Amino acid sequence: MDSAALKSNTGELVPGEHVCLIYETEEEHAELLTPYLRAGLARGEKIVYLADYTSGSTLLGYLKKAGMNIQPHLRRGQIVVMSASQAYLPNGVFDPDFMVSYLREATRQAMAEGYTGLRATGEMTWVLEGRPGCDRVLEYESKTNAFFKPECHAVGLCQYRRSRFDAKMLLEILKTHPIAGTGPELYSNPFYIPPELYLGPKEADAMLDRCLAALRTRARGSAN
């Protein structure tokens, strides 16, 4: 299997890409998020950060530590930090279709405000609260892939801290993201399953096909 990184860091992500980050420590979190946020500001995108366990001051501290003057961006509203629960659970219930509509409307609003697009990222630990609808998060992650296309003017980064999630859950999360990151590098995900297959009756067949394809690719690479 080709192990070359698709992108060297999150700052290289472009509109239409939907990524999951599985990370371990706060230091790693800062290393992963800083280039993502810096790139969005440099490209004139509006940043929406959905925080669950990281405070807004911690997030902004990442940028300050990187030597950025963030006050002009804050004054004009280019950086928006809000509670993940406020966005994902506005009425105390998680609805995947509502959240996809939220992303679409947030992108439209960002464009109307003069930004080049939307750069969204969310800490996903809110799903562990077990509130109504949280068990539909995999449905949501899969459905967003129909939204994240090059023409949508939005990029999405989903954050999963490994110590907080069950390994079985993270294996499913990998199936719903075309790009996955572990450490600073991002990789094209061979285990990704498109929504029309992941949400249908043939999900197991699709996963088996991908595993077999990965074996064949690895065998060809070893032979060269």
What is this structure's pTM?
0.91
Number of domains in the chain: 1
Question: Helices 56-65 and 26-42: crossing angle, nearest 10°?
Answer: 70
In a domain, 1, yes or no: no
Percentage helix, strand, coil, to 5, in the chain?
A: 50, 15, 30
pLDDT at site 2: 44
Report the DSSP pairing between strands 46-51 and 79-83: parallel
In a domain, 2, yes or no: no
Alpha-carbon distance of 113 to 110, in angstroms, equals 5
Q: What is the CATH number of the domain that holds 165?
A: 3.40.50.300
pLDDT tens by residue, 128-186: 999 999 999 999 999 999 999 989 999 999 999 999 999 999 999 999 999 999 878 99
In a domain, 4, yes or no: no
Mean residue pLDDT across the chain: 92
Q: Residue 135 is part of which domain span?
A: 10-223
